[in-house]
Amino acid sequence: MSIVDVPEASSVCKGPWLLTQGERNGSRTRARGTGPAAAVLFDRDGTLVEDLPYNGDPDRVRLMPSARAAVDAVRARGIPVGVVTNQSGIARGLLSPGAVEAVRRRVEELLGPFDVWAVCPHGPDDGCGCRKPAPGLVHAACAALDVDPRATLVLGDIGADIDAAEAAGATGVLIPTPVTRPEETAAVEHTAPDLLTAVRALLGGPEDSGGGP
């Protein structure tokens, strides 16, 4: 795994791109929470931000409902947060590495810094082990955070997100959107109507609604 700031095109064949908060800030110090999860990993498109296919324009980034409140709620518990995202537009020639990086920076402007980003730049036919539903992104993010995947939560909007979580040994929660197929929703154990509800139900706390996902 390579830890990079601005991804290089040559890293496409080297596994996922991995960026941690410590490398950006010059320190690997990070608060360690004592809650029910060692880390919470979010899918990007359709989960944290609106899903605009192959978007490389940071000005078009729009948050999903309750995304900021959900991420803040996790941080308030001292739990590391990360992003695990497929970006096959790079392999398809529809996105440059710099465009993906620009969007990442915009997401952090809106949501604050994440402790880790794990990005798969490969296409569906490249045979990599990181593209969801494979578990590579979850494993890479957990390794960077030094947490056990079995104590990690993964939140996403499609079946591939949940399949990646389960393949890695993590707990996946589906937050359906209009693009989520009904059979995907029916196949998963945990669902929630939005990110904040999922976080409150899974992590508990003063504002816990009391129900499980």
Catalytic residues: 43, 45
Q: Are 121 and 12 in contact (CB under 8 A)?
A: yes
Q: Are 207 and 200 in contact (CB under 8 A)?
A: yes
Rounded to whole angstroms, the Cα distance separating 9 from 6 reads 10
H or E segment and range at residue 153: strand 152-156
| Residue 32 C-alpha from the chain's centroid | 19
- Could you tell me the CA-to-CA distances from 6 to 90, 102, 125, 128, 196 in Å, in that order? 14, 9, 25, 21, 31
Residue 173 CB partners (closer than 8 Å, separation 6+):
153, 154, 155, 156, 162, 188, 190, 191, 192, 198, 202, 213
Q: Are 105 and 59 in contact (CB under 8 A)?
A: no
In terms of Cα–Cα distance, which of 45, 44, 6, 42 is closest to 24?
6
Composition of the chain by helix, strand, coil, percent to 5: 35, 15, 50
